[in-house]
Structure formats: structure tokens, C-alpha cells
Structure 1
């Protein structure tokens, strides 16, 4: 049964939650820290920068695909053994990236790095579900976002400083060291959270049945996809905002990081507010209001783009509201999706991550493929994601009500 001891409630950031936050922060660190090195990588490997950008795409594909494999394994053997394998692979692949001599080899090592790193994302959610009930899980996810939300703010700054001082290879050596350090923390400071009596069988029939059951679970699927559509809007923003802000609106590239950081701070602030909002309220009631924000922001951006009046203040306001609202949406939707999945928390966490990163990859690709020299593709994709978050939340809530009535 999930634990809710007084000692856990007393500490806002117990050691195990900080380790979970570091496990989840691996992905944004691995993505954002090497972004400033794209020109240097292209020059060093004598390729077009587009080929270097593909190394980011292969990393995202690895994150989306890799999570599905760790869930059933963790439900059988516990949360720590998959972390040993995943973090070991992550550190090895990061070292491979540091020694890569071609764009093709860098793509391969980045894919393997993602396959290893995504174990941390799956296990972090599963450990929280193992230890805490739904409301406490939502507060834990909110607290964890304070730590992981700093990653996209600090990582590009740190990466740029390392690039200037020691070159791009030093960035990957630092990621290698980070992977080994987190592996040591997991081994020495993290207790196994899955009781032996809850270990699930590991054979193809049971795995297929578990994933099939999750895909038929309206409550799990709806809340997972509601958060997924919100995060897909963020992926669209990450993909399209550099062109829209720098090329269309003339923001200096050196100032783009301030916009990126301001929106990340908005997400952190809302995640901390969410920890207070869920006191005395149902998680779904908070989520119901929160999903309206990205929907309204996306529709405002799309309407302004269609009308040709998408000026910079409107654009910045829309981005801030959309990204900031995820601080309420992601923790609550994640907690609600996992509420009744304690018997297969690892598998549920894995499927949730796979679905959400797949949606994010599709949204980012849609913005890139629809590129027409205007802000319209970005605005429309963000609007569609906002509306999707609202619709899937309502669908999930109906499934939750049906479950309660059964």
C-alpha cells in the first residue's frame, strides 16, 4: 500500500523525492545543456547544422520508445534494478557522445543515452505512486517540478559556459559524471519502494494483458493524454518559438534565453501554487480549471495569427500562460492517472511517458513540417493541444465517475 507517514509529510523534499527529481531532470539536462553547442558540433564534424539537429530528434525518439520497456521489468524486479541498467547505459552512452567523431555516431550514442536516461523518468513516477496516495502524489509531483523546472533554465547557461571554457565534448563528460553520481545516490540512498508481494509476473502474455488493460482504462488513458496534450503544446513551443521570436519579431538570440527562462519560472511558480490548491479540493476540480488556461491561450494565439495581429506582447503572454499552466496540469493529471494503478505502477508510468513523449514528438514535427514563414503553424498546433487537454480531461472524468458508480 502507498505510504503516507508523518515523516514524509513533514519533509517537503525528503531524500527519496530529491533523487526522483534528479532522475526526472536527466532528460531536460541532456536536451538543453548541449543546445548552445550546435554550431560548434556542426563545424567540428563538418556537416550541416540540420544533421546536428537530428541528434536531438533521435534522443526524443529514444525517450518515447525506451520507457515502454522499463515498466514491466520494474513491476517484476523492483524500481532499483532497472535504474542500475538504465543509468549505467546512460553514463556509457554519454561518454560515447563525448568521443564521437561523426554526426552519425553521435546520433547513435544519443539514442542509446535516451534509452538509458528514460529509466529514471519511469521509476520516479512509479516510486511516488508506490509511496503516496493521490493527493500526496500531486503535491510530490509539484514539489519535484521545482527541482526539474530549474533544468531548462540553468542547463543552456551551464552548457554555454562549458562550451566556451572547454569545448562541446566537456558537456557530455559532465553528463557522464552526472549519470554516475545519480547512480551512486540510487544505490546508497534510495530504498526499494516495491514490496515483494506486489511483484508482477514477467512473461509476454502478462505484459500484453497489462498494457491492454491500461489502454482500455478510460480514467488512466484520459488523464495521461490530457497531460500529454499540454506537454505536446510545450514541445511545439520549444520547436517553433526560436523562429517566431528571433526571426519574425527580432528578439536578439542572446535574449531568447530570458524568454525561455521566464516561462520556465512561470511553470515552477504554478507548480508550487498547485501544491496549495489541492489542499481541501479534489484533484480533478483543480485540473478542470487549469486545462482551460492553455486552451484559452492557444485559441488567442491562433485567432491573433489568423487575423494578422499577433504582436509580440500577445505572443509572450500566450506563451507564458500556456507553459505556466502545465505546473498545475502535469502533477494533478499524473496523480489521477496513477490513482488506481498501484498493482502495475511501473507499467502505467512507462505507458504514460511513452504516450506523452509521442504526442510531444508529433506536435514538434507538425510545427516544423508546416513551416510557412509565419507564426500560424505554432499558434494552431498549440491551440489544438490546449483543446485536446480539455477534451481528454472531461473524457477521463466521465470514466472516473463510471468507475466509482460500478
Structure 2
């Protein structure tokens, strides 16, 4: 966001799209020239459209995988709701300049990314599932408090900023841990599992963002309500998914 503000102020809004396009081209070049295959030739498995469909069908029948992917999906959805509405709320409603808005937006990214860096240490010490349980409770509780405060008539940017920072910090622990848990039993079809999980994350996020847009009225409350609903759904899914025993089924080879 900070870079985008600088580009817009100096070169106009069209320059943002040229910059993004240039970044995509550069990433494609680096992908083709720098990312080498690490799997030994003898360990590689052939793939076809049929085997891919078989793997996807297997994953769609795995309740544990779908539950964990959906926990992360609704977590990302809450951020998508914020992403789609925050510029209107912060600039039009609270009167922030585009540059200050960029700083405000980046603060939540710092919370998310910063806490996600602790995932490895905390998971090694406490285990993945306990980390998910605690993090999703903290995430949902913080967002419920935010909604209650805003619904009571407290329309203050500083209050929203603090609670979003804390809530998205907890979310930074939820996404990586649920992704690892979803993948841990699917090493043989890791690529397919990763692709499906990413698709589910963004599909849930896109739907949530569209629904939130229908209720947007220029005030923070609909945005906060959407964020909170996504957080509560993540919490419920975590209780259901982590509370039941896991059925380990042998996956088809990718």
C-alpha cells in the first residue's frame, strides 16, 4: 500500500497496473529460470487429467482437509472483507489521506506477517493443534469485541485500529498452522492439495467480499460485521474439525 500511494502520487493510478504487470512478468521469468525441480527423478510420478480428478475427488471427500482449509478460508475472507471496504471507510468516513491510509493498512499486515513468523517456534513447543485452538479463540473473541463496541455506537478509529491489529495478529497464527495440518496427511498429492486449498481460500474470500459489498453503506459497521461473522465461522469450524477424531485414508499417488 505504501508503494502504491507513492506511485499514484507521482505517476498516476494507471502506473499501478503497469507496475503490477511488470512484477508479474519478472516473477514468471524468475520462476522459469531460478526455481529448480528438487524432487529426484526416480521419485517423480506421472500425472494426467484423470489422476488429477481422482486426487481432487479424494480431497473433496476428506472432511478433515476441507474443515482445516475452510478455517483458513474464512480467516482470509475476513481480511478480504476488510480489503474491499477499508479504503472507503478510512478515507471517506474517517477522512484519512491516501498516504496515511496506506500506513494504517500496512499496520495490520505487519501484525499478520509478524505473528506468522512465530508459528514454527510455537508449534514446535506446543503442537500445531493447540496453537490453532488458542489462536482461533483469540481471533474470534477480538473480532466479536470489535463488533460489540462498534454496534454500541462507539465509532472511533483508534479503537478499531487496536482491535484489528490484535485480531489479525491472531489470524497470522491460524492460517499457517491450518495449512500445515491440512497438508500433513497428503504428501503423495501435495501439489493437488495445495492447489485445492488455495482455490478454496480465495473462493471463500471472494464470496464473502461480494456479500459484504451488498450491505456496505459507507459506515464501518457492515464491514466489521462481515469480519466478525467470518471469524466466528472459523471458530466454529475449528471446534468441529479439531474436536473429532481423524480418519486417515491412504491418498492416491499424484
- Fold similarity call, TM over 0.5: yes
Show the counterpart of 1:333. 178
CA deviation after TM superposition for structure 1 residue 227, in Å? 0.7
> Any residues of structure 2 matched to 1:97-246 within 5 Å, and which?
156-168=1-13, 170-196=15-41, 197-204=43-50, 206-246=51-91
Instruction: State the distance in 2 between where 1:351 and 1:245 align.
Output: 34
CA deviation after TM superposition for structure 1 residue 258, in Å? 1.6
- Give the number of equivalent residue pairs: 249
Show the counterpart of 1:290. 135
Tell me, what secondary structure is at the counterpart of 1:280? helix
Asked if 1:403 corresponds to 2:247, the answer is yes
Contact 2:68–2:241 (Cα < 8 Å) also in 1: yes
Tell me, what secondary structure is at the counterpart of 1:402? coil
Of 305-314 and 268-277, deviating more is 305-314
Show the counterpart of 1:28. none
Show the counterpart of 1:313. 158
Of 247, 265, 273, the residue aligned with 2:92 is 247
CA deviation after TM superposition for structure 1 residue 194, in Å? 4.1
Tell me, what secondary structure is at the counterpart of 1:279? helix
Instruction: State the distance in 2 between where 1:379 and 1:168 align.
Output: 28
Instruction: State the distance in 1 between where 2:93 and 2:22 align.
Output: 39
TM-score, normalised to structure 2, is 0.86
Contact 1:223–1:334 (Cα < 8 Å) also in 2: yes
Tell me, what secondary structure is at the counterpart of 1:201? coil
Tell me, what secondary structure is at the counterpart of 2:125? coil
**Residues 357 and 324 of structure 1: CA distance in aligned 2, closer, same or farther (over 3 Å):** same
Contact 1:302–1:376 (Cα < 8 Å) also in 2: yes
CA deviation after TM superposition for structure 1 residue 188, in Å? 3.6
CA deviation after TM superposition for structure 1 residue 228, in Å? 0.8
Unmatched 5+ stretches in structure 1: 1-155
Instruction: State the distance in 2 between where 1:249 and 1:158 align.
Output: 22
Show the counterpart of 1:357. 202
